[in-house]
Amino acid sequence: MKKLIGFMLMISFVIVIYLENTSLFSMEEWSVSEGKIAEEIAVNSVPVTQTRRLNGSEIGTLAPEFSLKTLSGKSIYLSDYKGKKVLINFWAAWCAPCTKELPALEAYNKASSGVEVISINIDPEDRAKEFAERAGISFPVLLDVDDKVNNDYGIVSIPTTVLVDEEGVIINKHIGALDEEGFHVFVQ
């Protein structure tokens, strides 16, 4: 009799676990679909022509202002570039796609006119200066020592490139590495 009761308890336990997992799966599906609906409402509720200020680097929002120091210690503000298009590239020396991309960004910088290029190193303690010097980077390399700009722009993966127009509005964003031609296409 004890074996039968033990067996029935074990079967009940298995059934409860099965039902719990099934309900979690359906809750996750519901949560994802609810999130998509909320996102669609949010996107459609603000006219594209209206500039919004949100956290992160969403296209159509004002780019968060920042002040960072260059490798030589000079402070640079995003507002220093007001009236110009600015291409901002987030990277780190330990990131293989970033280190492959930076020479292409340098080539783009030398070949283009009308777009200011700056890069923001998100891990300044990891050989940023050494790498920038070896790569012959001529555009400003800024150091995000406290991760504030990285967080303000909502960077989730590097390399990430953000394009800011003359009025300070983010007009394009790309996550992942680009080659020189890719930068030309990205800016247009």
Residue 89: the pLDDT is 96
Catalytic-role residue among 87, 92, 98, 178: 98
The number of folded domains in the chain is 2
Whether 128 and 169 map to the same domain: the answer is: yes
**95 part of the active site:** no
Please indicate, yes or no, if residue 79 is contained in any of the structural domains.
yes
Residue 21: the pLDDT is 58
Please indicate, yes or no, if residue 126 is contained in any of the structural domains.
yes
Task: Report the CATH number at residue 180.
Answer: 3.40.30.10
DSSP string covering 96-122: HHHHHHHHHHHHHHHH--SEEEEEEES
pTM strictly above 0.75: no
Residue 65: the pLDDT is 95
Residue 63: the pLDDT is 93
Strand partners for 175: 160
pLDDT along the chain (188 residues), means of 10: 72 66 48 49 39 58 93 93 95 90 92 90 82 87 91 91 94 92 89
